[in-house]
Amino acid sequence: MTSSPTAKVNLLGLDKEALKAFFVSVGEKPYRADQVLKWIHFNGVADFHAMTNISKLLREKLSEIATITVPDIIYEKAASDGTYKWLLKLYDGNCIETVYIPEKTRGTLCISSQVGCILNCDFCSTGKQGFNRNLTTAEIISQLWVAVRKLSQLNGVHDHAVTNVVMMGMGEPLLNFDNVLPALRIMLDDFGYGLSKRRVTVSTAGVVPVMYQLRDAIDVALAVSLHAPNDELRNKIVPLNKKYPLQELMAVCREYFKEDKRRSITMEYVMLAGVNDTPEHARQLIRLLANVRAKMNLIPFNPFPHADYERSDMDTILRFRDILMKAGINTTIRRTRGDDIDAACGQLVGQVKDKTRRHERYLRNANAKQANSSKEKQEVA
């Protein structure tokens, strides 16, 4: 089933309130929203004629005016550690990647929100692919729909279904807020996927105004892609910082869970050798996070072709962690998962029809560097 533009309404992308409005608009009772939402998401049904607790007349009516359409799976592969990746083809030829990470007590699905990413963070392979467009709500939630269906078919391969969702795939979720928000509501809805608010996480590089909107609109967990302890460094590796510097970002972080003292924000910090991993950087982080309820997640850098960075060695990462822990900051080191199928953090690339021509410029610059390096070696020889 390939998603495509159509006169029919794709009910896959409507949350409960939108479904109620849809049914009222076609002369039906709003309670039909609960029934159809459950059929689509809880039961995974994409055929109106299989929805046996609604009348035959309504089923025929829905078949004429609506659709339940998901992207095609054009590639799927399991990593040696059990991580699973799907490449999903959208109606316009773009492709996005979705990753499932099984663990002993949970199964986490990493979902994309954009085709490519507009932010162009310096250490991220996804950003180097350029940007095409925002995903629709249907395209966002379809990743969960597909994963749940496929995992149920893989008996013996995966022991756990999806218990957690992280909006940490391709793209910046808060730059697609209007489409991400209904998808989050479907994830939490008891007639949808019934996920706990603490098990759905939105990750942002720090789109400060929309962070306030997210806080006021829905109660989910929050992760911030921090990656640097000062503005000078963060301006370089996370360009969004030039618009929303650390002072503004920390202000919203202090306010975000102000009413719930038990909640904290996860700060994501990719460890780049010789760039942001020194003891002084750790001490700067401690000062930066003063009065912010946060836990640190240190992420070993995952390399990609032509990357200008290298991963910090484990001794450096452990030393960094220990400095933070000694200062009272709860700190974990993320285990690298799925790197043998390019499914690790920062490695998702999909197939992006890049409107920005960023990928073209990136490859041109990378090839020029490689040529210069080869020339220098020849001259030395």
Active site residues: 97, 345
Closest CA to 11 of 129, 141, 114, 118: 141
* Three-state DSSP class for residue 33: helix
**Contacts made by residues 255-259, CB under 8 angstroms, sequence distance 24+:** 255/212, 255/215, 256/211, 256/215, 256/222, 257/222, 257/293
All residues at 6 or more sequence positions from 33 whose CB lies less than 8 Å from its CB, including other chains: 16, 17, 19, 20, 22, 23
Neighbour tally for 259: CB within 10 Å: 8
Give the span between the Cα atoms of 375 and 268, in whole angstroms. Answer: 38
Cα end-to-end distance, the chain, whole Å: 58
Cβ pair 319, 276 in contact under 8 A: no
Give the span between the Cα atoms of 381 and 377, in whole angstroms. Answer: 6
* Three-state DSSP class for residue 217: helix
Closest CA to 84 of 74, 97, 94: 97
Closest CA to 101 of 82, 74, 118: 82
Cα separation values, 83 from 111, 213, 268, Å: 14, 33, 20
Helix (H) or strand (E) holding 167: strand 164-167
Residue type, 55: S
Cβ pair 96, 170 in contact under 8 A: yes
Reading the block at residue 215, the tokens are: 């806080």
Can you say whether the dihedral through the CA atoms of 227, 230, 236, 242 is positive or negative? positive
Residue 76 CA neighbour count, 13 Å, CB half = 13
* Pairing, β 72-78 against β 84-89: antiparallel
* Three-state DSSP class for residue 158: coil
